[in-house]
């Protein structure tokens, strides 16, 4: 299998794992941010977790400035960004953070480099 073919068929979970590994390697404090609904055992009420609608899959802090980073990961093939997800990424960028929709780790590398991130 050619690298191009592999990248075109990369699952979202693999993109997420690779992005998290890259951010960790660069010294970012970043974590997976799962969203969902859970049923409470003591009363049966449903509780939402993971931030507001559209909140990115990965969130974190870029040292040493403490700048916020949000990465919405997507499968490399046939994936679409929901309106709420795009709005969240746009909000992060408008507020001075780094927001990126990533179908590969290269998308995150390019976004970080575009912001002239300097390692300590």
CATH code for the domain in which residue 40 is found: 3.40.1350.10
10-residue mean pLDDT series, the chain (120 residues): 55 93 95 87 81 92 92 87 95 96 95 70
- Domain of 88? 3-114
Does residue 110 form part of some domain?
Answer: yes
Does residue 12 form part of some domain?
Answer: yes
Q: Which of 26, 36, 107 has its CA nearest to residue 60?
A: 26
Evaluate the CA torsion angle 4, 8, 14, 20 in order and state its sign. Answer: positive
Tell me the pTM.
0.83
Does residue 45 form part of some domain?
Answer: yes
Domain count across the chain: 1
DSSP label at residue 51: S
Distance, CA of 40 to CA of 13 (rounded, Å): 27
Evaluate the CA torsion angle 6, 7, 9, 12 in order and state its sign. Answer: positive
Does residue 7 form part of some domain?
Answer: yes
Q: Which of 36, 37, 34 has its CA nearest to residue 73?
A: 34
pLDDT of residue 103: 93
Does residue 20 form part of some domain?
Answer: yes
Does residue 17 form part of some domain?
Answer: yes
pLDDT of residue 117: 54
Q: Which of 72, 90, 66 has its CA nearest to residue 33?
A: 72
Does residue 96 form part of some domain?
Answer: yes
Does residue 119 form part of some domain?
Answer: no
């Amino acid at each position: 299998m050619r690298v191009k073919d592999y990248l075109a068929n990369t699952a979202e979970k693999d993109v997420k794992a690779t992005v998290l590994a890259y951010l960790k390697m660069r010294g970012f404090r970043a974590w997976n941010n799962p969203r969902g609904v859970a049923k409470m055992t003591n009363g049966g009420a449903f509780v939402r977790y993971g931030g507001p609608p559209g909140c990115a899959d990965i969130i974190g802090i870029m040292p040493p400035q403490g700048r916020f980073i949000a990465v919405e990961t997507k499968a490399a093939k046939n994936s679409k960004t929901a309106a709420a997800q795009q709005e969240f990424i746009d909000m992060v960028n408008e507020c001075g953070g780094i927001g990126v929709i990533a179908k590969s780790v290269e998308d995150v590398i390019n976004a970080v480099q575009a912001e002239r991130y300097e390692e300590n």
